[in-house]
Structure 1
Amino acid sequence: MEKGLKRIPSKEYEKIHPEEVFNILESGKDGLSDEEAERRIQIFGPNAIEERKESPLKGFLRRFWGPMPWLLEVAIILSLLIGHEVEALIIAFLLFINAAIGFAHSQSSERVLELLKSKLAVMAKVIRSGQLKLIDAKNLVPGDLLIIELGDIVPADCKILEGSISVDQSMLTGESLPVDLSAGNIAFSGSIVKRGKAKCIVVNTGADTYFGKTAELVRIARPRSHQQEVMLQITRYSMYLGIVVMIAVSILAYAMHLKNELISILTFDVAILMGCVPVALPAVMTIMQAAGARYLASKGVLVTKLDAVEDAASVDVLCVDKTGTITMNSLEVTSLIPLNSSEEELLELALYASSEETGDPIDLAIVRRARGIRTKGKRISFTPFDPSTKRAEGVVEIEGKRVRVVKGAPQVILGMCNPDGKEFIEEKLNELASKGYRTLLIAEGEEGYPLEVAGIIALSDPPRSDSAELIKRLKELDVKPKMITGDSFPIAKEIARIVGIGDMGVSLSDLRNLNESRVLEEIEKADFLAEVFPEDKYTVVKSLQALGHIVGMTGDGVNDAPALKQAELGIAVSNATDVAKASSGVVLLTPGLGGIVEVIVQSRKVYQRALTWIINKVTKVVQFTLLLAIGLFWLGYDVLTLMGMALLVLANDFATMSLATDNAKPTLRPNKWNMRNIMLSSVVLGLLLLSEALIAIYIGKKLFSFSQKEMQTFILLTMVFTSQFRVILVRERGYFWKSKPGRELIASISIVIAAFLLLGMVGIVVERIPLSASLLSLAYSAAFTLGIDPVKVLIFKRSGLIS
């Protein structure tokens, strides 16, 4: 970078005199030349946001790297070494499906940056070499002179040199009121000019703009994926158990009578790997979440990130953006305080100094409130609100007299009026301000005579009709709502009181000089946070996460995007910007927050289904690995063939896939993944079911005198039948008969049982055994598995799985 061309934060330019700004940016009254602008693009880069992408091929191949893929890849190699090509192909197919699902799920991760980039793709009116030109905004550089006026999107951060404008920054700050800017102020990229015209100098472009910093926050925001943590822990525990058993058995087998049976040992190792790796886990999680997402779509809620369906179950703090989320994001006249007239007469006067055509939110609020009022006078002239004078004015003819009506900021209007009653007026203004209302004064007077205050108009952004009920339901679900707003403390306190959030609040400005631990403490205990800057929302979410909370965040503006992405559950309301929607895991399709309770309740159902799958899987791994080990030494051969192992995996996964739509009861508290307790209870249950399988081997030896292949079929059928009844056993945390399984689950279990009864009777790919033996296996599995239900309930109570 060349000397003199510095990168200075946009806000700092407000403190710098325009002449000094010209010197810093090496610009002049005629702007830059095209040649100089081209040179500066090489220095500062285009007025766009850099996008970092991983190639699709690399992203897909990365899915084959990690603990779970490694185990399956080892199993494939071992299967090929011992000549079991069919089994190797089955394992490879499972590995490929797992990789494909993970790859497809990751493809939408960069949508937020794409939308932010597209937001800058606007045209700009620029002065170069003294000539006004229309250029693509991506070609703007620091030092360019801009003209911005009504309807324009501010294309870069710029300092106003001449003129005044009123801008809508709601996409950036989330706040509904327009902001008045004049010479010396900074207009931020992404703002929309609602009134006025100004000449500006560009101070920052692209990623250096305030908008660009938001994009960078979105890029670095990385929520903790609890689903990924859970899957990693399950894989780790299963892998450890499988590897320990595999190594122990291999050493013992080699040292004892199987030392020459290398093929048998390798077959055992492959079987252990196939049984222990939770290969279906990513697919099952995705299917469960997709089923929940389909249900939520029918309730007016769009799920854009499937992880959100599960993550919402654990949310214990919901950060709610006030403007447009709790409130209507629309000003309304709340109170009329006339001094020497009626409310209707005061409103009539205000109407003379307002116009719907201006699009000004205050004018629109007055016009809406005045509908139906018949005016007595005829307006002769109208001067819209001017940010520099902070007032609007109308001249009206009433009963042959010309009356001047002025509407504007209280202190400005008071300075123009007769001082009579000033103390009373200021007292009322302070009272309204303490309740969070925005106030206007209306003054009138005949032309040529002093003005007199006619009354006070109070305005506010009122709460949505469903906000109070939503807050109540959230508290019933043990989720703490925490309102966040850029508004002042009085406004925040009043809204929090009305909707029932609470009265414990804090202004972020009061926390800036406190140490980190005190800041965290204040943020955690506050019911609402006021005077929050856009970048603070991201920090608030991170702070709550640092304290161990699972955080939800609602929002609608560009400024909310980093916090929405960082939160475990980002919720964009229906009127949200595209960037906010893309940053969120959930988008509400209807106004307000009526769908948020549905999200939490449905996600807790999905959590219960996922918990059922995990308990079922870990229980099976414990039962299966120890059975293979004990059976190898007891019988002297593998209790299951590799084909039998593959059939068992497929049968178990077929039934558990239907858990995605199973009936489930949501809890009244946030769900937490306490993996230690989940694993311990599953291990104990697995040991109980191991005893069932060992007794089945004894029955097969004593009652039927099976050959090796017949015994392998009998054990396979027993394991398959047990796996089906085990799903019924663990799907209900209480006694299994307290809730009815879903129709899909009943159907899949019935199909698996019928298919394997037929398999054993006909002898397809397994050795045929008598139908009586198959039916005995079925009856025994049902009686034993469901018979230990009281023990299961006791185990779950001790481990905290039953609240």
Structure 2
Amino acid sequence: MPIQEALCLLETSAEGLSESEARNRIQTFGYNEVAEKRSSPILEFLKRYWGPMPWLLESAIVLSYILGHYVEVLMIFVLLTVNAFIGYAHASSSLEALELLKRSLAVKAKVLRDGSWVVRDAREITYGDIIVLGLGDIVPADAKLISGELSVDQSALTGESLPVDVGASGIVYSSSTVRRGEAKVVVVNVGINTYFGKTAELVRIAKHRSHQEEVMMAVVKYMMYLGLTAIVPVSTYAMLMHRDLLSILTFVVVFLMGAVPVALPAVLTIVEAVGARELAEKGVLVTKLESIDDAASIDVLCLDKTGTITQNRLTVAEVTPLSGFSGKDVVRVASLASKEEGKDAIDLAIIECATAAGTHTSGCRRTSFMPFNPSIKRSEAVVEFEGKLFRAVKGAPQVILSMCKGTDRVTREKVEVSLAELAQKGYRTLAVAKSRDNVLEDLQLLGLISLADPPWPDSKSMIEEARSLGIKPIMLTGDNVAIAKEVARQVSIGSNIIRISDLQGLPEREQTRLIEENDGFAEIYPEDKYRIVKLLQSAGHMVGMTGDGVNDAPALKQSEMGIAVSNSTDVAKASASVVLTGSGVKVIIDAVKVSRQIYQRMLTWVINKVTKTVQFVGLLTLGFFWTHDIVISLLGMSLLVIANDFTTMSLATDNVKHTGNPNKWNVKSITLASLMIGMMLVVEGAIALFIGRHYLSLAWGELCTFLTLMLVFTSQFRVLTLRERKYFWSSRPGKGLLISVTATTIGFVVLGVYGVIIPPLALSQVLFILGFSALFTLGIDLPKYYAFRRLGL
């Protein structure tokens, strides 16, 4: 369909819609979005009662009911409901955060309303709107080209990796990515009627299982194995003693409740929520939660120069006219080869300079315009002035020089000298040329325009701090070596900067070695960034990658931590796992520090849980063979789980220090350290059992209370010991953890003395087991310190 016919059918014109008409159409046809299906909140809450860990607690409830232990039924149900509520509450807050995040990352479009170009969210685009598309834009709706040409990536729609060229009257589809060119288009379909049909897919925010979660699940599996290893011989022994089935089942449930980390989902949830909140407060939006864990492990940070190290806010620093021309002549012609609507940073800097210098282009009318094309490295326009045509061209100096055939050798040499001097200053330099009137192919060089892209004020300190955290920064840039070295000097990234072409033809091992040894690479292409990330990963590195442009997207998506800086293109934001919302890049270091703190909190939880399981399983097994009975009641087990979970959940806000080196999970070291500490605590349990049975001559119910209190008090002091990798007094616990430990300890002292739901003990006996647990648990601090140091924890 011809474009004029399409405009007529849509009841619009090349001048666009008015704001009032756009609002009317949105009210009639709806927003440019697809409403997402939402499940019932009640159903979502009930799902928290379904799964392996809820099944275990529900089995305990049924068994306790059959046995007539109604207090235990109530206690376990409360435990189950608390875990369900925490999981549901966080899931709800996560959905709200996700919606806020999607709005923060909403695709924008430049639309013509009331005769002026304005920026609107893609959801506010409607039928008949006139919008402009340029390099890096995501097409917000199905649209038909009015003027210009585009090369678009439709891989999200068709699976074809090659870009598709679209000319006048052609159609571009929603969620396609503009790879080259610029065009004015009219919107023909929105929302559910677009070819793609769902603009929400522009930002794919999916939570994949992180390495941390895989480690957690491995720990759960090993603890289950440990529990089953004890259950089999004990159950066999019980059957040989002709114990009834219900008592054996009770023993099995008690064993599994002690071994399985019932609070794991809640703890992971709370830790992630706290970490995400901390990062959000620092101006870091996490789009892929697994990147929080990965950030703790990155040891190489690839920094795209433009937009990351520097501000991507070009300004004209110097104008160098050739003989016979003035600076205003150079700026005037360069501004004619630039276009404000295209949002190109170089064009905007030149237009800003022309405006400030009072360079007038009145009377000039562009008859055609070609925006900057990376493949030919220039932009140009054909301009009509006073009835005559001339060609205005700006671009890479070597390209423009090759087009100016009439430039003599002396002039070329002067230009080369000027380029070298300007490059030493770290400037990006363009050459400007103009054709003679009505002779468009006869170009004459007018001069040079140098642009400076200053570093962010915090770039240097960020790079220095990255090194102090054991992260090697590597600068990547498409600029030449001279510019790259000057910027590297300004931010102290290092002096070993080489061309990416120096890697060509070398074996992969040699390429990897050069990447690891050098501080930066110049004259690179988008595929080179991706290749560098892949080579580093193949060498065992965890890689962070920063960027802001469409050319950074493949590397951002490939890296463990893809970071889109503020003012990134839509494609970069959609590809990254972390998006910075404020100016500057120092918050990258904040993200690394917070992630390392999260690692330390989860490491404490894992070691504490494995240690507790070893102690509990060991004591229960030893106690059964010693006394021929279960030394911890089902109710006591429920109380122990509640006490332990109440305290360990507060680890999410514990006061921890980030490490000075990248963190990596070492399951072998964690297991060995936990086994060693756990076995020492089994000895504690055996001593307590001996004292309670033979010295205090406690009745059976009192003995169960005595051992339950020992396990509860030990769990509180154990957390205070294990949270610190050195001696327990080396750092102060978080306020929440101290309150939890204090409240739990006091609560169980009262419970032990007054009984209420368990057989009571004398105050002296409760205080004795409290002191015994404190001295024994804190006494393992010295061997713990040496074990952690020896095993690298």
* TM-score in same-fold range (> 0.5): yes
Q: Does residue 241 of structure 1 match 2:226?
A: yes
CA distance in 1, matches of 2:314, 2:472: 28
Displacement of 1:482 after TM fit? 3.9
Matched residue SS, 2:450: strand
Displacement of 1:586 after TM fit? 3.6
Q: Does residue 441 of structure 1 match 2:432?
A: yes
* AA of the residue aligned to 2:298: V
Distance 1:486 1:349, change over 3 A: closer
1:12-161 mapped onto 2 (5 Å cutoff): 68=53, 71-72=56-57, 75-76=60-61, 78-80=63-65, 82-84=67-69, 85-86=73-74, 89-90=77-78, 92-93=80-81, 96-97=84-85, 100=88, 104=92
Could you say what the CA RMSD is over the residues aligned between the two structures, in angstroms? 5.4
Matched residue SS, 1:329: coil
1:593 is matched with: 585
Alignment deviations for residues 497-526 of structure 1 (CA, whole Å, 9 cap, x no partner)? 654445455649976x98887877777667
Give the alignment's TM-score, normalised by structure 1.
0.73
Matched residue SS, 1:439: strand
Q: Is the 8 A contact 2:44 2:88 kept in 1?
A: no
Q: Does residue 292 of structure 1 match 2:275?
A: yes
Q: Is the 8 A contact 1:348 1:370 kept in 2?
A: no
2:725 is matched with: 733
CA distance in 1, matches of 2:478, 2:487: 13
CA distance in 1, matches of 2:522, 2:81: 54
1:626 is matched with: 618
Of residues 785, 788, 800, the one that matches 2:792 is 800
Q: Is the 8 A contact 2:677 2:784 kept in 1?
A: yes
Displacement of 1:252 after TM fit? 1.8
CA distance in 1, matches of 2:409, 2:571: 52
Displacement of 1:451 after TM fit? 9.1
2:307 is matched with: 324
Distance 1:589 1:55, change over 3 A: same
Distance 1:290 1:655, change over 3 A: same
Compare 305-314 and 246-255 and name the one that shifted more.
Answer: 305-314
Q: Is the 8 A contact 2:79 2:642 kept in 1?
A: no
1:21 is matched with: none
Compare 319-328 and 695-704 and name the one that shifted more.
Answer: 319-328
* AA of the residue aligned to 2:335: S
Of residues 247, 250, 269, the one that matches 1:264 is 247
Matched residue SS, 1:427: helix
Give unmatched runs, 5+ long, in structure 1.
1-26, 36-47, 125-135, 141-145, 173-179
Compare 103-112 and 689-698 and name the one that shifted more.
Answer: 103-112
Q: Is the 8 A contact 1:437 1:460 kept in 2?
A: yes
CA distance in 1, matches of 2:541, 2:749: 49
* AA of the residue aligned to 1:350: V
CA distance in 2, matches of 1:516, 1:113: 39
* AA of the residue aligned to 2:709: L
Q: Is the 8 A contact 1:316 1:480 kept in 2?
A: yes
CA distance in 1, matches of 2:644, 2:49: 24
2:331 is matched with: 350
CA distance in 2, matches of 1:347, 1:537: 38
Matched residue SS, 2:232: helix
Q: Is the 8 A contact 2:755 2:761 kept in 1?
A: yes
Distance 1:556 1:83, change over 3 A: farther
1:229 is matched with: 214
Matched residue SS, 1:554: strand
* AA of the residue aligned to 1:775: L
CA distance in 2, matches of 1:581, 1:486: 20
* AA of the residue aligned to 1:93: T
Q: Is the 8 A contact 2:109 2:131 kept in 1?
A: no
Alignment deviations for residues 676-715 of structure 1 (CA, whole Å, 9 cap, x no partner)? 1011101110000111111111111233210000111111
* AA of the residue aligned to 1:473: E
2:27 is matched with: none
Q: Is the 8 A contact 1:111 1:582 kept in 2?
A: no
Give the paired residue count.
721
Displacement of 1:573 after TM fit? 2.3
Of residues 461, 467, 477, the one that matches 2:469 is 477
Displacement of 1:335 after TM fit? 3.7
Displacement of 1:278 after TM fit? 0.9
2:680 is matched with: 688
CA distance in 1, matches of 2:415, 2:198: 42
CA distance in 2, matches of 1:263, 1:664: 45
Distance 1:76 1:525, change over 3 A: farther
Displacement of 1:640 after TM fit? 1.1
Displacement of 1:784 after TM fit? 1.0
Matched residue SS, 2:583: coil
Of residues 265, 268, 272, the one that matches 1:282 is 265
Distance 1:779 1:229, change over 3 A: same
Of residues 753, 761, 768, the one that matches 1:761 is 753
Q: Does residue 387 of structure 1 match 2:370?
A: yes
* AA of the residue aligned to 2:416: E
Compare 351-360 and 757-766 and name the one that shifted more.
Answer: 351-360
Compare 92-101 and 547-556 and name the one that shifted more.
Answer: 92-101
CA distance in 2, matches of 1:325, 1:590: 12
Alignment deviations for residues 731-778 of structure 1 (CA, whole Å, 9 cap, x no partner)? 111111111222222221111111111111111100011000000011
Q: Is the 8 A contact 1:322 1:485 kept in 2?
A: yes
Distance 1:629 1:212, change over 3 A: same
Alignment deviations for residues 456-510 of structure 1 (CA, whole Å, 9 cap, x no partner)? 2123544333223222221221123344556677766665565444545564997
CA distance in 2, matches of 1:253, 1:604: 47
1:415 is matched with: 404
CA distance in 2, matches of 1:642, 1:545: 49
Q: Does residue 779 of structure 1 match 2:771?
A: yes
1:14 is matched with: none
CA distance in 2, matches of 1:647, 1:766: 10
Of residues 632, 657, 668, the one that matches 1:640 is 632
Distance 1:350 1:417, change over 3 A: farther
Give unmatched runs, 5+ long, in structure 2.
10-31, 113-123, 157-164, 372-377
Compare 295-304 and 768-777 and name the one that shifted more.
Answer: 295-304
Of residues 413, 416, 421, the one that matches 1:427 is 416
CA distance in 1, matches of 2:513, 2:454: 30
Distance 1:392 1:120, change over 3 A: closer
Distance 1:364 1:559, change over 3 A: closer
2:694 is matched with: 702
Matched residue SS, 2:733: coil
* AA of the residue aligned to 1:96: A
Q: Does residue 315 of structure 1 match 2:307?
A: no
CA distance in 1, matches of 2:527, 2:764: 71
* AA of the residue aligned to 1:762: Y
2:646 is matched with: 654
Q: Is the 8 A contact 1:157 1:186 kept in 2?
A: yes
Alignment deviations for residues 504-557 of structure 1 (CA, whole Å, 9 cap, x no partner)? 55649976x988878777776675566777688677656654543333333445
Distance 1:680 1:596, change over 3 A: same
Compare 615-624 and 580-589 and name the one that shifted more.
Answer: 580-589
CA distance in 2, matches of 1:314, 1:760: 45
Q: Is the 8 A contact 1:504 1:525 kept in 2?
A: no
Matched residue SS, 1:314: coil
Alignment deviations for residues 616-665 of structure 1 (CA, whole Å, 9 cap, x no partner)? 11110000011111111212221111111111111111112222222211
2:350 is matched with: 366
CA distance in 2, matches of 1:358, 1:311: 40
Q: Is the 8 A contact 1:354 1:392 kept in 2?
A: no
Compare 306-315 and 782-791 and name the one that shifted more.
Answer: 306-315
Q: Is the 8 A contact 1:380 1:394 kept in 2?
A: no
Give the alignment's TM-score, normalised by structure 2.
0.74
CA distance in 1, matches of 2:725, 2:786: 10
Compare 620-629 and 697-706 and name the one that shifted more.
Answer: 697-706
2:239 is matched with: 254
Distance 1:658 1:548, change over 3 A: same
CA distance in 1, matches of 2:726, 2:237: 41
CA distance in 2, matches of 1:520, 1:572: 25
2:22 is matched with: none
